[in-house]
Structure 1
Amino acid sequence: MSGTYTAPVGRSTTQIFSACTQYAAATLVAALRAGQFGPRSEHRRILVVSDTSPAPELGTPMHHRPGFEKLASEFDTVRSWNEFIRPFHPAGWSPREQDASLWERAVRREWNLRDDEPVEIACESIQANPAQALAVIFGDSPVHVYADGLMSYGPTRNKLDQVLGTRIRRLLHLDLVPGLRPLLLTEFGVESEVVPTDVFLKVLDELTEPTDVPRPTTTGTGTGTDGPDAPAPALLLGQYLSTLGILTPRQEEELHARMVRGAVALGHTRVVFKPHPSAPAQWARSLEQEAERLGAELTVLDTPVLAETLFATLRPALVVGCFSTALLTAASFYGLPVARVGTGPLLERLAPYQNSNRIPLTIVDALLPDLEDRSAVTGWSLPDAEAVRGGPSGLVSTVGYAMQPQIRADLRPVAERYLARHRDDLRRYFKRRRLTVLGLPGGAPAQLGFIPRNATVRRIARRARTLKRAAAG
Structure 2
Amino acid sequence: MPRKTQIFQVSTLYGAATLAAALDAGLFGPRHEARRVLLVSNNAAVPETALRLDEMHGYARIAGRFDSVVSWNEAISPHHPSAWGPRGNDTVLWQRALRLLWGIDERDLIELAVESIQVNPAQALAAIFSESAVHVYADGLMSYGPTRDKLPLTLARRIRRLLHLDLIPGLKPMLLSEYGVEPELVPDEAFRGVLDEISRDAADDPRLAPVLEEAPTAVLLGQYLAAINILSAQEEEDLHVRMLTGAVRAGHRSLVFKPHPTAPADYSTALSKAAADAGVRLTVLDAPLLAETLYHHCRPALVVGCFSTAMMTASAYFDVPVARVGTALVTRRLQPYPNSNRVPLAVVDHLVPDLEREETPALVGAAPGTLSPLVRAIGFCMQPKAYPQLRESTADWLRNHLADSPGYYFPELRLAELGLPGSHPRSRAKIQVRRAKRVVRRAVRRGVRR
Looking at structure 2, the residues matched to 456 and 121 of structure 1 have their Cα atoms a distance apart, in angstroms, of 42
- Residues 98-137 of structure 1 mapped to structure 2, 5 A cutoff: 98-137=89-128
Partner of 1:461: none
Tell whether 2:350 aligns with 1:382.
no
The Cα shift of 1:232 comes to: 4.3
Specify whether residues 426 and 261 from structure 1 end up closer, same or farther in structure 2 by C-alpha distance, changes over 3 A only.
closer
Instruction: Return structure 1 stretches of 4+ with deviation > 6 angstroms.
Output: 455-458
Give the superposition deviation at 1:371: 1.4
SS at match of 1:310: helix
Partner of 1:274 in structure 2?
258
Q: Does 1:356 align with 2:356?
A: no
Q: 230-239 vs 263-272, which deviates more?
A: 230-239
Q: 8 Å contact 1:143–1:167 — kept in the other structure?
A: yes
Aligned partners of 2:223 and 2:62: how far apart in 1? 23
Which residue in 1 is equivalent to 2:80?
89
Pair 1:249 & 2:249 matched: no
Number of the residue aligned with 1:48: 39
Write the distance in 2 (CA, Å) between the matches of 1:37 and 1:107. 22
Shift of 1:331: 1.3
What residue number does 1:146 align with? Answer: 137
Which of 371, 383, 407 aligns to 1:392? It is 371
- Asked whether the 8 Å contact 2:246–2:355 carries over to 1, the reply is yes
Aligned to 2:441: none
CA contact (8 A) 1:146 1:171 kept: yes
CA contact (8 A) 1:419 1:426 kept: no
Q: Please point out which of 405, 410, 427 is paired with 2:407.
A: 427
- Give the whole-Å Cα distance in 1 for the aligned partners of 2:427 and 2:249: 47
Letter in 1 for 2:129: F
| Paired AA for residue 317 in structure 1 | A
In 2, Cα distance between the equivalents of 1:455 and 1:405? 19
| C-alpha spacing 1:257/1:44, structure 2 compared with 1 (3 Å) | same
Q: Give the 3 Å change call, closer, same or farther, for CA 288–451 of structure 1 in structure 2.
A: closer
SS of residue in 2 equivalent to 1:449: helix
**Aligned-residue offset at 1:302:** 1.0
1:215-269 CA-to-partner distances (Å, cap 9, x unmatched) read 4658xxxxxxx65xx7542101111111111111111111111111111111111
Aligned to 2:180: 189
Q: How does 1:143-182 map to 2 (within 5 A)?
A: 143-182=134-173
Residue among 19, 37, 50 paired with 1:59: 50
- 1:365 shift after superposition: 0.8
Pairwise CA distance, 1:147:
0.3
Counterpart of 2:366, as a letter, is D
How many pairs were matched up? 434
Describe the SS at the equivalent of 1:202: helix
Shift of 1:79: 0.8
Paired position in structure 1 for 2:394: 415
Contact 2:15 2:138 in 1 (8 A): yes
Which residue does the alignment assign to 2:287?
303
Structure-2 change in CA distance of 1:457 and 1:89 (3 Å): closer
Is 1:437 equivalent to 2:417 in the alignment? yes
State the match for 2:306 in structure 1.
322
Deviation at 1:50, TM superposition (A): 0.9
Alignment partner of 2:61 out of 60, 70, 95: 70
Q: Distance in 2 between matches of 1:273 and 1:24?
A: 22
Q: 2:446 matched to which residue of 1?
A: none
* Offset at residue 457 of structure 1 (A): 12
Q: CA deviation at 1:454?
A: 2.8
Give the match for residue 317 of structure 2: 333
In structure 2, do the counterparts of structure 1 residues 354 and 120 end up closer, same or farther at CA, with 3 Å as the change threshold? Answer: same
The C-alpha deviation readout for 1:131-154, integer Å capped at 9, x for no partner, is 111001101111000001000011
Kindly state the Cα deviation for residue 75 of structure 1 after the two structures are TM-superposed: 0.4
The answer to whether the 8 A contact 1:216-1:299 is kept is: no
Consecutive unaligned residues of structure 2, counting only runs of 5 or more, are 438-450
Aligned to 2:448: none
CA distance in 2, matches of 1:203, 1:148: 15
Q: Distance in 2 between matches of 1:213 and 1:67?
A: 15
Say whether the 8 Å CA contact 2:312–2:364 is kept in structure 1. no
Residue 207 of structure 2 corresponds to which residue in structure 1? 214
Deviation at 1:208, TM superposition (A): 1.7
Letter in 1 for 2:324: R
Equivalent residue, structure 1, for 2:433: 454
Matched, 1:344 2:328: yes
Summarize deviations over 1:272-320 as a string: whole Å, max 9, x none: 0011111111111111111111111111111110111222211111101
Please state how far the C-alpha of 1:213 moved relative to its aligned partner: 7.2
Contact kept, 8 Å, 1:234 with 1:271, in 2: the verdict is yes
The two structures have a TM-score, normalised by structure 2, of 0.93
1:384 is displaced (CA, Å) by 2.8
Which residue of 2 is the match for residue 462 of structure 1? none
Pairwise CA RMSD: 1.9
Answer whether contact 2:416 2:427 (CA < 8 A) is retained: no
**Alignment check: 8 A CA contact 2:142 2:341 kept:** yes
Following the alignment from structure 2 to structure 1, what is the Cα–Cα distance between the partners of residues 26 and 152? Answer: 30
- 8 Å CA contact 2:10–2:114 kept in 1: the answer is yes
Q: CA deviation at 1:382?
A: 2.3
